[in-house]
């Protein structure tokens, strides 16, 4: 059967966000600007970045995203994520390695409601004529700088962004942790596509020591209505998704 993740979850679970429950009310946010950059990664570590519940994509991939949320119940915020491309059984997903936001209130809410492992940083999304760049700085040090080069308009209907799998702790997870599926819908108003570029990527800062981007795929940047939905599925990270998935929230 397909390869599966081999990530040792012991430390990850210990530092994962503690969620009180999976009952968070959804956030629907209009006019979100989102830069998404994807690369193939070195296949020597294709399984070691994922928990056993998930399969790596073939070829293995990493997704960088930097988003501006102009409004939310906790106010405007920026959010940057690095995710490893994967499958939960047959379904395309991105396993969150780490996230940064510029808003302490957003960090707290995203962690408690949707399991985002989220720290504070200076997160920027800059749109220029010839490039759109996402930059993350922690204490003044650049830990991520990715870009879309020479944007060209495309149809938003051609874009597919995959749902998150966020490792968190739940009261009833028996200490094994839980993968929280966060699968927002997108309504696109504008979309651009272009060549991706990584200027800076501090792997340690993203809990991504084994993630070595080697081959660019594509970058896109969209303006869309999206958000953070009601949680529908939770997975046991230690067993295959087909066996360890449960529905929540009715």
Partner 1 sequence: MKFGIFYELSVPRPWDREAERTVYERALEQVRLADELGFDQVWCVEHHFLEEYSHSSAPELFLTACAMQTKRIRVGHGIVVCVPQFNHPVRIAERAAVLDILSGGRLEMGTGRSATWTELGGFRVNPDDTKKTWDEIVRCLPKMWTQERFSHDGVAFSMPARAILPKPYQKPHPPMWVAVTSPGTEIDAAERGLGSLGLTFGGFGEQEKRIAEYRRRIKQCEPIGEFVNEQVNTVNFLFCHEDDATGIATGTRLSGTFGYLAAQLLSTREAYPSRSYPSLGLLPQLRREQTSPGDAPRVPEGLCIGNPERVIGVLRNWEAIGVDRVNFLLNAMETVPQEEVLASMRLFAERVMPKFAAAPAATAGGA
3-state secondary structure of 171: coil
Interface with partner 1, residue 1, by CB under 8 A: yes
Contact 179, 167 (CB under 8 A): yes
Q: How far apart are CA 223 and CA 226, in angstroms?
A: 9
Q: Pick the closer one to partner 1 by CB: 112 or 159.
A: 159
Alpha-carbon gap, residue 183 to 248, rounded angstroms: 14
Any contact of residue 128 with partner 1 (CB under 8 A)? Answer: no
Interface mask toward partner 1 for 9-48; x: CB under 8 A: -----------------------------x-x--------
Contact residue for partner 1 among 118, 121, 235, 237 (CB under 8 A):
235
Distance CA 218, CA 197 (A): 9
Q: What are phi and psi of 140, to 5 degrees?
A: 85, -10
Q: Does 172 bind partner 1 (CB under 8 A)?
A: no
Of 109, 137, 107, whose CA–CA distance to 124 is shortest? 137
Taking the least distance from each CB to partner 1, the nearer of 86 and 118 is 86
| Nearer residue to partner 1 within complex by CB, 103 or 220 | 220
Sign of the Cα torsion 11, 241, 23, 176 reads negative
Q: Binding of partner 1 at residue 191 (CB under 8 A)?
A: yes
**Shortest Å distance, C-beta 93 to partner 1:** 11
Stretch that binds partner 1, among 67-75, 96-104, 152-160, 203-211 (CB under 8 A): 152-160
Applying CB under 8 A, what is the total number of residues that bind partner 1? 37
- In the complex with partner 1, which residue's Cβ is closer, 92 or 171? 92
Residues 6+ apart with CB under 8 A from 23: 231, 249
**Region binding partner 1 by CB under 8 A among candidate stretches 5-13, 14-22, 102-110, 235-243:** 235-243
β-bridge partners, 201: 144
Of 66 and 165, CB closest to partner 1: 165
Q: Could you tell me which of 102, 109, 91, 229 has the C-alpha nearest to residue 160?
A: 91
State residue 42 phi and psi, 5-degree precision: -55, 125
Least distance CB 159 / partner 1 (angstroms): 5
Joined tokens for residue 185: 């819908």
* Contact stretch for partner 1 (CB under 8 A) within 16-24, 53-61, 68-76, 139-147: 53-61
> Is the bond into 99 cis (omega within 30 degrees of 0)?
no
Give the SS3 label for residue 204.
helix
Q: Is 65 in the site for partner 1 (CB under 8 A)?
A: no
Candidate residues 5, 24, 29, 55; the one interacting with partner 1 per rule CB under 8 A:
55
Residues forming the site for partner 1 (CB under 8 A): 1-2, 38, 40, 55, 57-59, 61, 85, 87-92, 154-155, 157-160, 162, 191, 193, 215, 217-218, 220, 233, 235, 241-242, 244-247
């Amino acid at each position: 059967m397909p390869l599966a993740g081999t990530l040792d979850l012991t430390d990850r679970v210990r530092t994962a966000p503690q969620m009180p429950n999976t009952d968070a009310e959804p956030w629907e946010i209009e006019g979100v600007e989102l830069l998404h950059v994807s690369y193939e990664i070195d296949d020597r570590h294709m399984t070691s970045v994922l928990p056993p519940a998930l399969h790596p994509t073939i070829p293995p991939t990493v997704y960088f995203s930097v988003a501006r949320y102009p409004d939310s119940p906790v106010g405007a915020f920026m959010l940057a994520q690095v995710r490893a491309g994967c499958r939960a059984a047959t379904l395309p997903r991105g396993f969150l390695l780490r996230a940064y936001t510029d808003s302490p209130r957003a960090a707290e809410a995203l962690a408690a409601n949707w399991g985002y492992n989220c720290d504070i940083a200076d997160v920027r999304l800059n749109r220029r004529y010839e490039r759109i760049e996402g930059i993350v700085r922690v204490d003044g040090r650049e830990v991520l700088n990715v870009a879309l080069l020479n944007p060209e308009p495309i149809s938003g209907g051609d874009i597919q962004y995959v749902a998150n799998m966020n490792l968190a702790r739940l009261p009833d997870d028996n200490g094994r942790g839980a993968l929280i599926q966060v699968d927002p819908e997108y309504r696109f108003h504008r979309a651009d596509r272009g060549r991706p570029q990584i200027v800076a990527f501090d792997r340690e800062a993203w809990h991504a020591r084994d993630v070595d981007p080697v081959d660019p795929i594509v970058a896109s940047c969209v303006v869309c209505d999206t958000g953070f939905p009601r949680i529908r599925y939770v997975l046991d990270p230690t067993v295959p998704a087909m066996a360890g998935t449960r529905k929540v929230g009715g």
